Amino acid sequence: MNIRRRIIDYSRGNNLHHFWRLYRLQNKAGKEGMAHDILTFLLSRCAHRHGGYIGPDTVIKNHLSLPHGLHGVFISRYAQIGENCCIYQNVTIGEVNKKAPVIGNNCLVGAGAVIIGDIRIGDNVKIGAGAVVNTNVPDNYTVVSQPMRMIEGEG
C-alpha cells in the first residue's frame, strides 16, 4: 500500500468499519474471558491506528456519528452516549474518579470540546467547538465557549 492510499484511508470519516465491528463483537463477548481480552487488545490497536480512544466498557447506544473519524477523540470507558449523537474531532469525554458523563440522545459535540466529570448532558443538546463542560446541561440547550477577548500588547 503506497503512502497516498494510507493518507486517504486515514482522512476518511467512514474508515471505522473494522473498528465498529470489533466493538460490537467485544460487547457480545461479555466482560470476562480470553475472547474479551483478545478483542479488547485488537480494539485498542485499531483505535490507536485511527488516532483516538474509546474505552472498552463505554456504553454507546445506536448510530454514533464520527464525521472526521476517530482523530483525537477520547471517550472514557465509563461514559454513556445516547442514540444518534455526532462527535467531531479532538473531543474529550473524560472521567473524574471513575465517574464520566452521560450524554443524551440526538446530541452534537463540536470540535475540540471537553466534557468531563460526573455530569448529565440532556437530549438534543449542541456543544460548540472548544467548549468546556463540567456541569449538567438540560435538554434542548446549546453550550458555547466564552467569547473572544483581545489583550493589548500581547502580540
Asked whether the beta carbons of 69 and 85 are under 8 A apart, the reply is no
The residues spanned by each domain of the chain are: 3-143
Asked whether the beta carbons of 75 and 81 are under 8 A apart, the reply is yes
Q: How confident is the model at residue 95, as a pLDDT?
A: 94
Q: How far is CA 148 from CA 49, 54, 83, in A?
A: 35, 31, 33
Q: In the 3-class helix/strand/coil scheme, how is 70-116 assigned residue by residue?
A: CCCCEECCCCEECCCCEECCCCEEECECCECCEECCCCEECCCCEEE
- The model's pLDDT over 97-108, given as tens digits with 9 standing for 90+, comes to 999 999 999 999
CATH topology of domain 3-143: UDP N-Acetylglucosamine Acyltransferase; domain 1 (2.160.10)
Beta bridge partners of 126: 108, 142
Q: How confident is the model at residue 13, as a pLDDT?
A: 47
Q: How confident is the model at residue 99, as a pLDDT?
A: 94
Angle at 10 between CA 3 and CA 53, to 5 degrees: 135
Q: How far apart are CA 108 and CA 141, in angstroms?
A: 11
Q: How confident is the model at residue 129, as a pLDDT?
A: 92
Residue 154 has pLDDT above 90, yes or no: no
Which of 27-31, 48-52, 128-132, 148-152 is the most confident on average?
128-132
- The model's pLDDT over 66-122, given as tens digits with 9 standing for 90+, comes to 888 888 899 998 999 999 999 999 999 999 999 999 999 999 999 999 999 999 999
Number of H helices, E strands in the chain: 3, 13
Other Cβ atoms closer than 10 A to 81: 23
Residue 90 sits at φ, ψ, to 5 deg, of 60, 35
